[in-house]
Structure 1
Amino acid sequence: MRSIKNILTAVLGMTLLLPMVSCKKWLDVQPEDKLTEKQLYSTPAGIAEALNGIYLDMGKTKLYGATLTSTLMDVFAQRYNVGTLHNLTKYQTYTYTDKSVMADLDAIWTNAYVDVVNVNKLIKSLEAYPGVLDSKSEAIFKGEAYGLRAFLQFDLLRMYGPVYGTSDSTKVSIPYYTTAGTAVNDILPANQVMNLVIADLKKAEQLLTNDPVRTTGVNTPGPNDNVNFLTSGRNYRMNYFAVKGLQARVYLYRGDKISAAAAAKTVIDNAATFPWITPGKILSDKANPDRVFSTELLFGLQSLDMYENYRDNFSPDLQDKQILAPLDARLKTTYENNENDYRYNPEWILTGIGGKSYRTFFKYADLVDKTTIYRYVMPLIRLSEMYYIAAEAYGDLGYLNTVRNKRGLLNLPAGAVLNTELQKEYQKEFFGEGQLWYYYKRRNLSSIPNPLSSTGNISMNATKYVFPLPLSETSPR
């Protein structure tokens, strides 16, 4: 296992951020292994290459390309029918002492902190080589970097930190890194990490005050356009509204409903920037359905491994011991047998391939048109979550009904129990996005749906909700 010290030393000793910086559209100067740091940060294209490399790395299988979205995090959330013969049984039973499980949790920790180190190196380098970018562009780059630093370490807190609450917020959690260097930071109490996350997001918000997304919108590029992420495709970057959305998520996790509602409301008041999916794009377009509801994304990544991950985990021709798919009865319970829900039939298809009598997951299946702009897009923060946060913070079913109406569903009855309906919505809305696990942990639910039955539950506790820290971090230094 690689300790934080090993990560810091290895990354900071390189002339480049990492070999992950590979998008040739951004940089055409010298072969990457011959670039010095000064050369990399001496041109706007080089700086863009460095930042783009972090985004690309986050979108790989090992992090948000699959592990922290569609596969392991959703297995931990009991999404799939992982029986005793399945390859991932130890994960579904929270057997954190199993060698394979330990290795994957260690890899999450290591890879996330590698990107944190790279973000810090980017911020430091922007300050060390001033004047390469104009002031507006530099503010946007730095704002994105501060937002990414908070995003990554907040997720690490949600995984490895305690169940956050009045009695547990002072328990030790993770280290938080804000500077580039080789010094190893102490493991902090969860509330101190939360303070640092919030501080980074406030800084990001200030730096992104003039983000073009606030005036010209996302500005979605065409399939043949040269993308300049400073001005177009802003929802594939940690833009101003993504920062506000992340603030809402963070504040709600902390239990600060007033601040969460205010941040969410900022996004909701600008919802036209992220238009709701239309029935035509999800139901009528059979060849290229927008199953990720891309127009609604405040933040998403390009996951270039997406279709390999689909074939390895969700393709209907996989054996039962390999495929990630729910029990059919459980899936029907989740969607309340409602065929009108836009999230149901388009994303879950009964193919009959391999004699399968259950539906399989098509959300991340490939499209016919390989130039489609939402191909490879992995959702990370979406508009609907802001309405869910507002509903919970204000205790208002109206926000929940707005999302339901945009998913082809009717309003809830006036006497509906808000928390019950919110849980149903999280279960429907975020399949394959990893967010359900965090919802369960935030609510500290004592039981969650059992994927091996249509209606039963399994018991939960802090031992299951908290990932163990890697041994490399807990052993004496």
Structure 2
Amino acid sequence: MKKIYITFLFAAISLFSSCDDWLTVEPKDMVTVDKALTTPEGYTSALVGVYQILQNVYNPGGFVMGSGVDTFANIYTEPSIGFSQSLNSAYNYNFSDTSYDNSSGAAFLQMYKAITNLNVILSSIETTEVLTAEQKNFVEGEARALRGFLHFDIWRIYGTAPDDNAGTSNLILPYSLEVSNEFIPYLNYNDYFANILSDLEQAKDMLSFSDPIIYYSNELLNVEGSIEEYEDLGWYNRQNRFNYYATLGALARVQLWMGNKEQAYEYAKEVVDAQNEDGTRKFRLGTSTDMGNTDLALFVEQLFGVETLGYDDTSYSSYTAHCVNSEYVLNQVYPSSSDIRKMNLFTTLTSNALVYNAQISLKYSLMSENDASAYKNFPIIRVSEMYLILVETAPTIAEAQTYYDTFANSRFDENVTLTEGNLQENILNQYTREFWAEGQIFYTYKRLSLTSLPFSGQEMNTDKYKIAIPSGETNSDL
């Protein structure tokens, strides 16, 4: 049987031997080791520790965004080997290059490290007596949702495309369900996705009556201390945490990947239709006004985002920045001169090393520690994606047109009359315009199994879409 050995996995007893090994949290959230998971606050701190691991994974210069997954999509100018051998290898799917393999391996490791810590929480919660029933549902729901979400992202990178070997007996990736120093067995597509759905659906049920985001607006929850009953556990800032609606969004993504359009439609629709008590939308589409108020990554839309503690954008937007393309390409991506994404999210770098008059995204340019912007989250799941899922899965073209118009009008994009023949093309165009520099574009190409990449023209096949698992993470018998 194919198996994988995750080198950082260790017995549960060692996880409790050092705060540095596990609870990597801010000082105000630190708990002593002997109190770890013996108080409600301990569970809160354990979850915070997982989110801090994710900051190493989901950031603009990280492998899962700008330095790997976006590069696979060839949306940026090809970096030369002299500029960066690792990035050049990612651009050209040269998985055997050592520098690329190390970058991929570091991200792979961090994602499974986060999963391992979630497994510690989930293992402990089975017998804990320190949490109320509501607290237990809340913590377990959030941990299960994160575990399912992370395993899905691992599959979107290292697993097969939906039309490649789906449902066969081929063993593709491991699904980690417990803390162990044993080899984790590989699973086939059916078993792996059954685990994803199990985690996310159980999480949905648990969070459906325990998550504060259901009962209060994001505006209120984003002000710490505004709700007395959540003060002790700090259950605020739900857009920074994997909340109920983020779980629905993840389920919509997974079901769409699996080709279950009716289910994807239902989950996405619940997010889009969600309202606060006063009738306002729980998550509204962002506007040019939001961008003008320094919300360039549209935090108002985020079902889930990772906080940018310690982020410094200078290397991302400097002379050596690799996340660039030409003005010609950007004009192709954004044909409408009034598109708020084109007008607000790009600038020219005349001295860039890769291309003359390089166009670079400003999406993360106000998120450094000293920047005045109050919006400092890397977007992971946004309501705009839910609108595009509804366009793709709506039962009629007329309904798809309604969702498309609502979305496109919010961006001041050109009007398009959808037909069965042009639906996929227009969906792909909007994914490209909307998620530039967010790491989502490659996943769309892979899900749709495009035979070539739109910008580079690179021919694609199943071997390129299934990114090689880092060499250091596989057992020698593979």
Equivalent residue, structure 1, for 2:236? 232
How do 1:73-92 and structure 2 match up within 5 A?
73-84=69-80, 85-87=82-84, 88-92=87-91
Partners of 1:63 and 1:112 within 8 A in 2: no
Q: Following the alignment from structure 1 to structure 2, what is the Cα–Cα distance between the partners of residues 305 and 76?
A: 27
Relative distance call for 1:75 and 1:429 in structure 2 (3 A) is: same
Quote the offset at 1:428 in angstroms. Answer: 0.6
Q: Following the alignment from structure 1 to structure 2, what is the Cα–Cα distance between the partners of residues 324 and 434?
A: 12
Quote the offset at 1:345 in angstroms. Answer: 2.1
Q: Following the alignment from structure 1 to structure 2, what is the Cα–Cα distance between the partners of residues 124 and 5?
A: 19
Where structure 1 has 5 or more consecutive residues not aligned to the other structure, the ranges are 452-456
Is 1:269 aligned with 2:273?
yes
Is 1:47 aligned with 2:56?
no
Is 1:109 aligned with 2:118?
no
Question: Secondary structure, in 3 states, of the residue corresponding to 1:273?
Answer: coil
Equivalent residue, structure 1, for 2:391? 391
Partners of 1:150 and 1:200 within 8 A in 2: yes
TM-score (norm 2): 0.87
| Percent of matched pairs sharing the same residue | 26
TM-score (norm 1): 0.87
Q: Among 68, 71, 76, which residue is 2:67 paired with? A: 71
**1:234-268 Cα shifts (integer Å, max 9, x gaps):** 11111111111100000000011111111111111
Equivalent residue, structure 2, for 1:188? 187
Question: Secondary structure, in 3 states, of the residue corresponding to 2:173?
Answer: coil
Q: Following the alignment from structure 1 to structure 2, what is the Cα–Cα distance between the partners of residues 64 and 323?
A: 11
How do 1:397-476 and structure 2 match up within 5 A?
397-415=401-419, 417-451=422-456, 457-471=457-471, 472-476=473-477
Quote the offset at 1:169 in angstroms. Answer: 3.5
C-alpha root-mean-square deviation of aligned residues, in Å?
2.7
The code of the aligned residue for 1:464 comes to K
Partners of 1:175 and 1:187 within 8 A in 2: yes
**1:287-344 Cα shifts (integer Å, max 9, x gaps):** xx1111001111111132432xx322x31x314xx532012211111111x2311111
Partners of 2:11 and 2:180 within 8 A in 1: no
Q: Following the alignment from structure 1 to structure 2, what is the Cα–Cα distance between the partners of residues 384 and 207?
A: 25
Relative distance call for 1:449 and 1:26 in structure 2 (3 A) is: same
Equivalent residue, structure 1, for 2:319? 318
Partners of 1:392 and 1:418 within 8 A in 2: yes
Q: Following the alignment from structure 2 to structure 1, what is the Cα–Cα distance between the partners of residues 326 and 476?
A: 41
Q: Among 248, 253, 258, which residue is 2:257 paired with? A: 253
When the two structures are aligned, how many residues end up with a matched partner? 451
Where structure 2 has 5 or more consecutive residues not aligned to the other structure, the ranges are 276-280
Give the ranges of 4+ consecutive aligned residues of structure 1 lying more than 6 Å apart after TM superposition. 62-65, 223-227
Q: Following the alignment from structure 1 to structure 2, what is the Cα–Cα distance between the partners of residues 110 and 10?
A: 17
Equivalent residue, structure 1, for 2:54? 58
Relative distance call for 1:118 and 1:6 in structure 2 (3 A) is: same
Equivalent residue, structure 1, for 2:278? none
Q: Following the alignment from structure 2 to structure 1, what is the Cα–Cα distance between the partners of residues 199 and 125?
A: 17
Quote the offset at 1:476 in angstroms. Answer: 2.6
The code of the aligned residue for 2:49 comes to G
Question: Secondary structure, in 3 states, of the residue corresponding to 1:360?
Answer: strand
Relative distance call for 1:69 and 1:183 in structure 2 (3 A) is: same
Partners of 2:367 and 2:375 within 8 A in 1: no
The code of the aligned residue for 1:293 comes to L
Relative distance call for 1:43 and 1:223 in structure 2 (3 A) is: closer
The farther-off stretch of 90-99 and 17-26 is: 17-26
